[in-house]
Amino acid sequence: MNAPTADRRPHSFSRHGITVEDPYAWLRDPGYPEVKDEAVLSYLEAENAYFEAAMQPHKALTDALFAEMKGRIKEDDSSVPQKDGDYIYWRAFEIGAQYRKWYRKPVAGGEDQLILDEPALAEGHDYFRLGAMSVSPDGRYLAYAIDNNGSERFEARIKDLFTGDILPEIIPDTLSSLVWTSDSKGLLYGIANDQWRTDNARLHWLGQSVESDIELFHEDDEGFRVSVGLTSSEKWIVIATGDHVTTETWLLPADNPTAEPLLVAARKPGREYEVDEHEGTLYIRTNDTHPNFRLVKASLEAPDRWEEVIASDPHFYLTDFTLFKGFYVTEGRQDGLDQIELRDYATHAPKRIPFPEASYSASLDDNPEYDVTKLRIGYESMVTPDTIYDYHLATGELEVLKVQEIPSGYDATRYATERLMIAARDGTQIPVSIVYPRDLPRDGSAPLHLYGYGAYGIAMEPGFSTSRLSLLDRGFAFALAHIRGGDDLGQQWYLDGKLDKRTNSFTDFVDVAKGLIDLQYTSRGRIGISGGSAGGELMGAVVNSDPDLWGAVVAHVPFVDVLNTMLDETLPLTPGEWPEWGNPIEDKAAFETILAYDPYSNVSTQDYPPLMVTAGLNDPRVTYWEPAKWVAKLRATKTDGNMLILKTNMGAGHGGKSGRFESLHELAEEFAFILWQLGVAD
């Protein structure tokens, strides 16, 4: 079967005196978010048919990988039960089920109660995702939100847990948490507007029509997004608004949500802060004096007058804090490694919880109650399966509650993990987390898979993956590149990979690959790479700059048409994304910077490595036409005969197919492509 080709239709635009040709602009259906253009659909369907034909000879390998991955999953798995008020809650899969069921039982004793049945809700839909869910303070009502097409416009519903009835009121287009008032009679939420932006916080009273819901807060800045939440004590409702660099927070009494909201501190460009409350004192995490944040406190009477509690530290990145009745917890990273510290309200002196490995991921887990004597903690590393602990405050004991079970077996002694530092071209030391079979030859002959993201200040946690074992057991090393653009080494690490420093993320990734070659973990052309969304942008940039390094590339929902997207303020995310990428509409320098690295614009006449690309027709984050245009241009421009395949999920969004086995099958396809292209025998 021949690869499909897309028509080239003359189209260009000019900005800041620069003209850009875009012959595949027609692949954006003018009726989006509805996609009905026959030429567009015909091209996407032709690409899907070509994808299936290309992968068909490797179906046995895909099936084998899927069977391996599925065999490592405990099908009837369940979470560790956790007390919240008068009930103990947990969730569980049944054998063969794609989705979970959610349960509770009274602390005082009684029968298990099924409170939410995801498989039943998903029945008849090709896609299903549970969004926000929240039980009312009196334990009677469950508010939950579902998405059945991948568009991330959720429909919120309310269930009476005492009777099992679904209340008649249905709230469409929600895109937020669902927060109850303290009397269990009101529900706060936010809806997405026509541009998929949550610019509001609304109040629904039970038993009243949704049309009569009250807008409590409205945000006029189209770049800001509004969220709703609760303080740890559940005395205050938190309404926060912000973009990627600036925040502003308002508080409402949870027992009087229509009261005049209390402004904590007016927005200042570049200042981020988040708020919690303990016994009338506000605690605030903020980056007002240093990128690594500090903790301050203030009174409710003067919430914008801040007193320092924990000073900022260039070596400690304060990522989060959680208030409990008798103590509080700070989370952060010391030189890139997760740390959890307990502190008392009187002295604020830290007591750090020790962890045994040199590289790991650790954080607070599910801790819904305010007054506790133990903390639920999650821990894993690249060789240690996900482990749930209770940390007992009185003794300091870490009690193991659950270790991820791998039914087909797992022997951690067969693998080794390291944390490396590899120099980038500007001398910056880039952390790399790597795991590999203990018998991996260190002569450059082994294949290696390298994963990266490097955007939005999102760190790559060195966690455990059962699916990854399918590569390790075939002789691969697997590495995570903690490149700039994430916040792996602190907020400055993030700042050094965005806006006019964006290309640091790309060159860091390339330099990590070259460093791993120098260390003889692998060799040029023996490296498979993957990334999604902004990580897909990373894939697009590095195949343009260093195509011969890679033996196989997988780009999931790749953000590769950056310039066009940032120039289109009608798209859902664009105004809120300008602080991350720059505003090329108003800023010529930003236009030139983006144009210089934009993967789609910089496709050139050269050989490219084998590429597998995915998209989602209903994706509101990276619109389907970005990967479609990129693939079309690559087909028409590249000079090699290497495989290039595009799969568009016609009934899904940004995350691909839903359901634990459907998504696992897509991962098996990805691994099969990598093994095929790297010539690794099964």
- Please state, in angstroms and rounded to a whole number, the distance separating the CA atoms of residues 440 and 477: 8
- Please state, in angstroms and rounded to a whole number, the distance separating the CA atoms of residues 510 and 518: 12
CATH code of 604's domain: 3.40.50.1820
Place of tokens 């007193």: 307
How would you write 131-154 as a 3-class SS string?
EEEEECCCCCEEEEEEECCCCCCE
Over the stretch 314-344, which tens digit does the pLDDT of each residue have? 999 999 999 999 999 999 999 889 999 999 9
- What value, to the nearest 5°, has the Cα angle with vertex 86 and ends 80 and 91? 30
Catalytic residue check, 467: no
- Please state, in angstroms and rounded to a whole number, the distance separating the CA atoms of residues 520 and 23: 43
Number of domains in the chain: 3
pLDDT, block means (10 residues), the chain with 682 residues:
94 96 96 92 97 97 96 94 96 94 96 96 91 97 93 93 96 94 97 88 96 96 94 97 95 97 97 97 97 97 98 95 98 94 96 91 96 97 97 95 96 96 98 97 97 96 96 98 96 96 98 98 98 97 98 97 95 88 97 98 98 92 95 98 96 67 91 97 62
Over the stretch 653-666, which tens digit does the pLDDT of each residue have? 666 666 778 889 99
Strand partners, 411: none
- Tell me the pTM: 0.92
Q: Which pair of tokens denotes residue 108?
A: 């005082």
Give pLDDT, residue 652: 64
- Please state, in angstroms and rounded to a whole number, the distance separating the CA atoms of residues 234 and 617: 39
For residue 31, the 8-state DSSP code is T
Give pLDDT, residue 681: 67
β-pair type (281-286, 273-278): antiparallel
Give pLDDT, residue 660: 79
**Chosen domain end from 358, 376, 406:** 406
Residue 634 has a CB neighbour count (10 Å cut-off) of 21
Same domain, 550 and 674: yes
Cβ atoms 324, 370 nearer than 8 A: yes
Same domain, 618 and 506: no
Supply the DSSP string of 397-408, one letter for each residue: -EEEEEE---TT
**Chosen domain end from 356, 371, 406:** 406
Place of tokens 């690869």: 3
Q: Which pair of tokens denotes residue 27?
A: 């692949």
* Helix intervals (H) in 568-608: 574-581, 588-597
Catalytic residue check, 465: no
- Please state, in angstroms and rounded to a whole number, the distance separating the CA atoms of residues 561 and 313: 38
Strand partners, 75: none
Q: Which of 533, 546, 601, 658 is catalytic?
A: 533
Question: Is position 230 within any domain?
Answer: no
In sequence order, the 6+-apart residues with CB closer than 8 A to the CB of 117 are: 101, 102
Strand partners, 378: 363, 388
Same domain, 461 and 499: yes
Buried b (16+ CB within 10 A) or exposed e, 449-459: bbbbbbbbbbb
Same domain, 563 and 441: no
Question: Is position 456 within any domain?
Answer: yes
Q: Which of 204, 244, 482, 654 is catalytic?
A: 654
For residue 7, the 8-state DSSP code is P
Question: Is position 170 within any domain?
Answer: no
For residue 566, the 8-state DSSP code is H
Same domain, 355 and 424: no
**Chosen domain end from 353, 387, 406:** 406
Give pLDDT, residue 194: 79
Question: Is position 80 within any domain?
Answer: no
Place of tokens 């509690």: 309
Same domain, 679 and 571: yes
Same domain, 547 and 679: yes
Question: Closest Cα partner for 558 from 501, 630, 507, 493?
Answer: 630
Cβ atoms 541, 506 nearer than 8 A: yes
- Please state, in angstroms and rounded to a whole number, the distance separating the CA atoms of residues 572 and 223: 10
Same domain, 597 and 674: yes
Catalytic residue check, 654: yes
Q: Which of 465, 556, 619, 665 is catalytic?
A: 619
In sequence order, the 6+-apart residues with CB closer than 8 A to the CB of 382 are: 359, 415, 417, 433, 434, 435, 462, 463, 464, 478
Cβ atoms 666, 672 nearer than 8 A: no
